[in-house]
A and B are shown apart, each in its own frame.
Chain A
């Protein structure tokens, strides 16, 4: 795809991890230039290929997650109860 880009290429040997060369324009059509402004894992390809692994959850955290999930379900039932009360009360 033809892209608009800033004019000339970066000065040789510069514009790496330290950032784009100061005072010169950067050609973003070059992967090296893109990497000079983005972190490696910001690239779409890197994110597609790598994922964070599973967190080890303690028994207490699992219990808390389960408890909160049951809490939400219970509260939703109570809300539904109130809605039905209001609807029947309106009729």
Chain B
């Protein structure tokens, strides 16, 4: 067990309901059975399965038995990254491939995902050690004033992003002739249906099953018959560069969109809360890192696949600046065939649906943590009514807005990503401060190299945001436009 509680008591930390240390506080006096909730029981069952799997595994057992504990522990990391490969992100990658083809952006996307791994790994440690969600920790450690700013960023960003997820759902299914009302309404029913299980484990496994379909962009890319030599050359040399250079406003907007596609505030809140809801403990941190790295690499591969899938549009001189999601699939059909276009359209639908589930859940987690309402997918509907209410209300409101006609969908998608990356630096600062906080993290606080990595990522994001602002307002002074 870590030394957080012991350290604080040794330093004479204030005690009492408002300041008592979380770990080691012990159960309240009285009948212990009344203190064990349905949520505790479900979490304990999940933990028991992990403990048994660990004891059953060993050097002399089968590969399946040795990997079984990892299988039980993965989830939050894969879901957060494949959830971040949402409809706007995949469309951003598609737009990149259609405008610039295979070149600079291929390794750039991989690097942005590796940056995101550095960030997300910290949420694993925070959740596993403190057993508190991200919103709750910010309010506890920084106070209401800064907490409200963080929540404001999350609420606005999440709602706008949810709107774009339902745009993607509608657009993806429109390729198959599904009416918008059916597409959006059916997706909302799915989001509602999954939470009826009121088991985090079940919700997570269903979401993971859905996330597998993010891999549909791989066959879409294969149907595009990419030039593997060009792909390898792009990875090694980061070329060819976009025409006009990186400071060209269109290129800068796309760079910002791609960064925003990999690093967004909701990911911090979701993964940490999911780690807590799943019941991870400090000894599970290594598995949590593995889970996060698996998610990172899968999401990078699928994102690059989306770029490769639309590269034929550039090769054939097709202008896609104003394309909406379904138009990409239709435009690709002559070059990658109906099967490839079908994979692309289904992938967009899956991307939107999974993200709708994870982002609405992150909003619900944050709400529950901040207002001290029950906030777990292990809660029955009647116990977690406010948690589930926020989850469903946010999804419903976003879906309803999408049914408005004549919305400039592609531009909205790109701008939402930009907003996400602009809001990231304060969120990263909170994360760095919390992860370096030895009072709550003990021996699991960030080491020197982890701190250097996250500070470097933060500075890069801030510089990207400053560059975007300058290019937007003074494009000619910077030589772009």
Using a CB–CB cutoff of 8 Å, the interface residues on chain A facing chain B are: 1, 3, 6, 19-20, 22, 26, 28-35, 37-55, 57, 61, 64-65, 68-69, 71-72, 74-76, 78-79, 81-83, 86, 90
Having A42-B279, A46-B27, one finds 4 other A-B pairs with CB under 8 Å, namely A44-B39, A54-B141, A75-B465, A78-B468
B45 contacts across to A, CB distance below 8 A: 28
- Residue-by-residue, is B1-41 near A (CB-CB < 8 Å gives 1, otherwise 0)? 10000000000011001111111111110001101111111
10 contacts between A and B (CB under 8 A): A3-B38, A41-B22, A41-B24, A45-B37, A50-B17, A50-B22, A52-B140, A72-B153, A72-B422, A82-B415
**Is B469 at the interface (CB under 8 A from chain A)?**
yes
Using Cβ atoms and an 8 Å threshold, which residues of chain B touch A68? Answer: 425-426, 429, 462
Among A6, A38, A49, A76, find the residue whose CB has the most chain B CB atoms closer than 10 A.
A38
- Tell me the minimal C-beta distance from A91 to chain B in angstroms: 12
B41/A34 in contact, CB under 8 A: yes
**CB–CB B22/A20 < 8 A:** no
Q: Point out the residue from A37, A45, A48, A83 that lies within 8 Å of B415, measured CB to CB.
A: A83
> What per-residue 1/0 map shows which CB atoms of B408-448 lie under 8 Å from chain A?
10010001001100110110010001000101100000000
> Residues of B with Cβ closer than 8 Å to A?
1, 13-14, 17-28, 32-33, 35-41, 43-45, 47-48, 51-52, 55, 130-132, 137, 140-143, 146, 149, 153, 279, 281, 372, 374, 408, 411, 415, 418-419, 422-423, 425-426, 429, 433, 437, 439-440, 462, 465, 468-469, 472-473
Q: Report the minimal beta-carbon distance from A22 to chain B, rounded to whole angstroms.
A: 6
Bound-state CA distance A52–B4 (Å) is 11
Q: How many A-B residue pairs have CB under 8 A?
A: 164
Which residue among A6, A38, A50, A86 has the maximum number of chain B CB atoms within 10 Å of its CB? A50
Q: Interface of chain B, helix or strand or loop or mixed?
A: helix
A69-B149 contact in complex given A47-B132, A54-B140, C-beta closer than 8 Å: yes
Q: Given A3-B41, A49-B17, A52-B140, are A43 and B48 also a contact pair (CB < 8 Å)?
A: no
Which of A38, A50, A69 lies in contact with B44, CB distance below 8 A? Answer: A38
Inter-chain CA distance A53–B423, complex, in Å, is 26
Judging by beta carbons under 8 Å apart, are B429 and A64 in contact? yes
B415 pairs with A79, CB closer than 8 A: yes
Across the two chains, which residue of chain B brings its CB closest to A34? B44
Given the complex, which residues of B lie within 8 Å of A39, measured CB to CB?
A: 1, 23, 131, 281
> Are the C-beta atoms of B21 and A79 separated by less than 8 Å?
no
Q: Is the CB of B21 within 8 A of A50?
A: yes
B57 CB to closest chain A CB (Å) equals 13
- Residues in B with CB closer than 8 Å to A32 are 32
Chain A: which residue is nearest B426 at the CB level?
Answer: A68
Q: State in angstroms the CA–CA spacing of A29 and B130 once bound together.
A: 25
Q: Does B28 contact A54, Cβ atoms closer than 8 Å?
A: no
A22 vs B411: C-alpha distance when bound (angstroms): 58
Neighbour of A51 across the interface among B1, B18, B36, B468, CB < 8 A: B18
